[in-house]
Amino acid sequence: MSTAATAKPQPATVTRRGDANGTVKGTLVIARMKYLRARGPEDFERVLRRMSAADQQVLRGMLLPSSWYPADVVLRLEMTAAAILSRGERRQLSSTWDASPPTRTSAGAGSSAPI
């Protein structure tokens, strides 16, 4: 039996900004939060209450357009919003979110996180 077959899996590589799946600019996070707030306080709270305490801390905190945030937080926000507001149909929300201006991500300039 080779040592490669018995080797333990290695942890994910962490980017220089501290997140294994990359980061997104605050402008993208702010745009998602503005969309949710525009849906009304009830929908906004329904979505955020379903998020983890750590995600809520980020999303309820002061969001700065020039800061970088973990892409995973945005992905979980999008998935939770789709599950609650669109009965799981992410594409239904993505047409609204795609109208947001392009945002820088750590993956490259001018692209926005996939929905």
Asked if the structure places residue 28 within a domain, the reply is yes
Asked if the structure places residue 91 within a domain, the reply is yes
CB-count exposure of residue 107 (10 Å: 0-12, 13-18, 19+): middle
Asked if the structure places residue 103 within a domain, the reply is no
Q: What is the pLDDT of residues 42-85, one digit of tens each?
A: 999 999 999 999 999 999 999 999 999 999 999 999 999 988 88
- Which pTM was predicted? 0.63
Beta strands in 40-89 (DSSP E): 68-70
Q: What is the pLDDT of residue 1?
A: 52
How far apart are alpha carbons 106 and 115 in whole angstroms? 16
Beta strands in the chain (DSSP E): 23-25, 68-70
Asked if the structure places residue 14 within a domain, the reply is no
- Please tell me the total count of domains within the chain: 1
Asked if the structure places residue 78 within a domain, the reply is yes
**Contact predicate 80/47, CB 8 Å:** yes
How far apart are alpha carbons 47 and 91 in whole angstroms? 17
Structural domain of 73 = 20-97
Asked if the structure places residue 112 within a domain, the reply is no
Asked if the structure places residue 5 within a domain, the reply is no
